[in-house]
Chain A
Amino acid sequence: MAIFSVYVVNKAGGLIYQYDNYVPRAEVEKTFSFPLDLVLKIYDEKLVVSFGQRDGIRVLSINGVDVNGKYTAEGKEILEYLKDPANYPVSIRFGRPRLTSNEKLMLASMFHSLFAIGSQLSPEVGSSGIEMLETDVFKLHCFQTLTGIKFIVLADPRQSGIDALLRKIYEIYSDFALKNPFYSLEMPIRCELFDQNLKSALEIAEKAGAFGPGS
């Protein structure tokens, strides 16, 4: 059981803090002969698998050398490189694309609006926004303070004790970010003590809630 990452979003939907606690490294390397038995395409300046085995995983390296977006380390286009039978056999390493900081900002503001729509479409009066969002591999928990700051924690579906962790993060935020005289409100949090305390809170929560009931 694990806690994957923490996001803090200000009341305008801007990402002011993000921390990746644990990123599972699911990577696979395979040697291919000509022609490739999967279809690659360029998506968002990256080369991803569009058909064959699993969709959306990204090409990370070719023949052991990391790629640079859609180009090889030497600056050639990968798609062109892979069209040439002379370059085979070729060994390609795949993995899930890592989020860039721009993507994280975008996802944070996306969640901000999803949160608001969730409360607007409520069939019951007085509903909050999305508090928990469930998928088969992770659960997203969100806690909004009265002042509109949202603390978001991504965790394993079986991890328990997340509500307590969210309140603990709020406490750490009030103690170490808000009381820091060099911290300006609504701006990205760059406080060392906040980092340290957050990390230790995550460690404690992971240990404490490791055997929580699955739901």
Chain B
Amino acid sequence: MTVHNFYIFDRNGSCLHYSEWNRKKQAGISKEEEFKLMYGMLFSIRSFISKMSPLDMKDGFLAFQTSRYKLHYYETPTGIKLVMNTDLGVPNCRDTLQQIYSTLYVEYIVRNPLCVLGESLQSDLFNSKLDSFIRALPFFSVRAA
């Protein structure tokens, strides 16, 4: 099991943060283009699902998986979107993503007066905390599989 990469988007679609750990394939386009494509896909999935759904939804979109990876999604009511790609063996990561939002994003970005909200995150403290948080996850290690 492993974590491939992690994205944070704001409500306007700009990518606030990106980091990767065990990514074997790059998308073959620039990072800027990749963020736009990723956000566009998530946006379309949300509208697709709200139309497709036979019942009213509470949480909406949670995750999708292909033959090789699983994408976990968490959105706050303010529109911050956290996206994490892992391999297929990882169970529902909603709590983990929520924890990243509440213990890392809110603590080190929202509470930092020097971080301008809505712009790409520059805080080294946040980056190192996030990195150590992800590395400490029980499903991070490749060998744990």
Interface residues of A (CB under 8 A from B): 4-5, 22-24, 26, 54, 56-57, 96, 99, 103, 107, 110-111, 113-114, 117-138, 140, 154, 215
Report the bound CA distance from A126 to B67 in whole Å.
8
Within the complex, which residue of A114, A125, A130 is in contact with B24, where a contact is CB–CB below 8 Å? A125
Closest to B57 in A: A137
List 20 A–B pairs whose Cβ atoms lie within 8 Å, in order of A's numbering: A4-B54, A5-B54, A23-B54, A103-B51, A107-B48, A114-B44, A114-B48, A121-B37, A122-B68, A125-B25, A127-B67, A131-B67, A132-B65, A135-B59, A136-B58, A137-B54, A138-B55, A140-B52, A154-B52, A215-B91
Whole-angstrom distance between the Cβ of B64 and the nearest chain A Cβ: 4
Main secondary structure of the interface of A (DSSP, over half): loop
Q: Find A131's partner among B65, B87, B91 (CB 8 Å cutoff).
A: B65
| B49–A135 touching, CB < 8 Å | yes
B66 touches A135 (CB 8 A): no
- Bound together, the chains give a CA A130 to CA B64 distance in angstroms of 7
Q: How far is the CA of A134 from the CA of B90 in the complex (A)?
A: 14
- Candidates B38, B59, B68; contact of A124 at CB < 8 Å: B68
